[in-house]
Amino acid sequence: VLQLFGRPHTADIGLRAYDAARSVGVPRVSLDVIYAVPGQPWERWEEDLARILARGPDHISAYHLAFEEGTQLTQRLAQGRLRRWDEDTELHFLEGTRERLEASGYPPYEISNFAPKGEEWRHNINYWCNGPYVGIGPSAVSKVGQTRFGNLRSVPRWQRAVEAGESAVEWSETLSPTGRLGETWWLGLRMTQGVGAAEALERSGFGDTGHDPGLALAEELAGEGWLQQTGERWSWTRRGLALADRLSKRFLELESADDSCGATKGSELSER
């Protein structure tokens, strides 16, 4: 599997790195894994999970393989050099992985993140709650206030800018209130506990206008059987969870053409 991904290390090297971190007293260690890989049957994936669980990590990130545009994997898929699993098998990987991890004491708190109660990763939760964060170094992304910006990707260019006392920011964007609201729903629905309409309005700074497009879309998706409401919170149904990435993109389309606060990209920071 690692060779398929072009990784230079072996599984044993990865696990030895985990053991080394434990041996020197690193208090919390997480393991990242990818499943539903072409040519990797469920039985092999179960064996990998057993090896991981035997080490007792504090946290596990288990990602369903995605074929992203422009990647070598996607090119090989298009060329017929790879064959992805059929939808029923991919669904079995998704549900089987969640069941196995939860039964082993790692319930999901987010679509791809699992941890015993109290061991959830705070920085992950902050991202899914659309909170503020600061990234430092080349390529790092920050979100301060309602503006998101990213540093120069090139290490030499970033270094020259910093040494000259100039801005190392390459791009920035400030979404409209509607755009921020859509992102807050999109991110919040990744959490197992879901998202509340009132908190989405507050986090996004959308304001009380008497019309909540996020709530209207949530009710529409619930009517189609994709979302469910528990108290004040909305979350995916079993059917919706399997298509969460595709369905949640509808919240990113809430942006209205006549929004007076329209999104701005390529600000003076990026132009400079």
Looking at residue 256, its pLDDT comes to: 53
Three-state DSSP state, 174? strand
Distinct helix (H) and strand (E) counts, the chain: 12, 11
| Count of beta carbons in the 10 Å neighbourhood of residue 10 | 11
> What is the spatial distance between Cα 230 and Cα 17, in angstroms, rounded to a whole number?
42
Report which of 20, 32, 53 is spatially closest to residue 124, judged by C-alpha positions: 32
| 234, 197 contact by CB (below 8 A) | yes
Per-residue pLDDT tens over the stretch 54-80: 999 999 999 999 888 888 889 999 999
Both tokens of 244, joined, read 């969460």
Tell me the residue type at 229.
Q
Helix (H) or strand (E) holding 73, with range, is helix 72-78
Q: What is the pLDDT of residue 262?
A: 39
Residue 236's H or E segment, with its range, is strand 233-236
Q: What is the pLDDT of residue 108?
A: 96
pLDDT of residue 207: 76
Q: How far apart are CA 170 and CA 138, in angstroms?
A: 10
**Cα 149 from Cα 172, distance rounded (Å):** 4
Q: Which residues of the chain, if any, have pLDDT below 70?
A: 209-210, 256-272
Q: How far is CA 54 from CA 57, 96, 106, 139, in A?
A: 8, 18, 13, 35
Q: Reduced to 3 states, what is the DSSP secondary structure of residue 195? A: strand
Q: Say how many C-beta atoms besides its own lie within 10 A of residue 33's C-beta.
A: 17
What is the tens place of the pLDDT at every residue in 165-186? 999 999 999 999 999 999 999 9
Pairing of strands 30-35, 59-64: parallel
User: Distance between CA atoms of 220 and 247, rounded to whole angstroms?
Assistant: 12
CA distance 204 to 180: 5
pLDDT of the residue at 268: 31
Q: Dihedrals φ, ψ of 148, to 5°?
A: -115, 135
Contact yes or no for 67/39 (Cβ under 8 A): no
pTM of the model: 0.84
